[in-house]
Amino acid sequence: MPVLPEASQILRTLSDSYVGDHILKIQGIVNGTTNYILLQMDEKGLSYAAALKRAQELGFAEADPTNDVTGKDAAYKMILLCQFAFGVHIKLSDFSVQGINHLQGFDLQQAKKLGYTIKLIGIAKKIADQLFIEVAPCLLSNDALMANIKNEIMLCKL
């Protein structure tokens, strides 16, 4: 399970290394900005607004971070991943997209109390010859690999 810092490397891996394979699922943190914001909220106790401002100051977030925080950037990446992995052409309107812009510190604190962390996850999974695709904040057990991905790093699990 490689840690890949750029979406282009994920696509290259799919096109070069998995050509003859039958991929059943792609799941990952595909937006480094939201991962950084959630980490700042979780580990440093920053508010959403303060974590976003810090991400902007460091250059992780755009001046207009709407596509990142609403999950649209991650959704666009999932569309590309699905084209490479499953050979399908889907639109943003074909699946559910939810961002982190409605999360509060309370949400992360409650997750932590229960032994979980919250990450924005993109998933595409074949289920009975259908493709389920979603981008949403997810609860991950603290011992899960993706729960421990820090800062602006992305991870994709094939």
Show which residues are catalytic: 77
15 vs 3, 19, 102, CA distance in Å?
Answer: 17, 6, 35
Torsion of CA 84, 89, 93, 98, to 10 degrees: -10
Longest distance between any two alpha carbons in the chain, whole Å: 46
H runs (alpha helix) in 3-127: 7-17, 32-44, 48-57, 66-69, 72-86, 105-113
Helix (H, G, I), strand (E, B) or coil at 75: helix
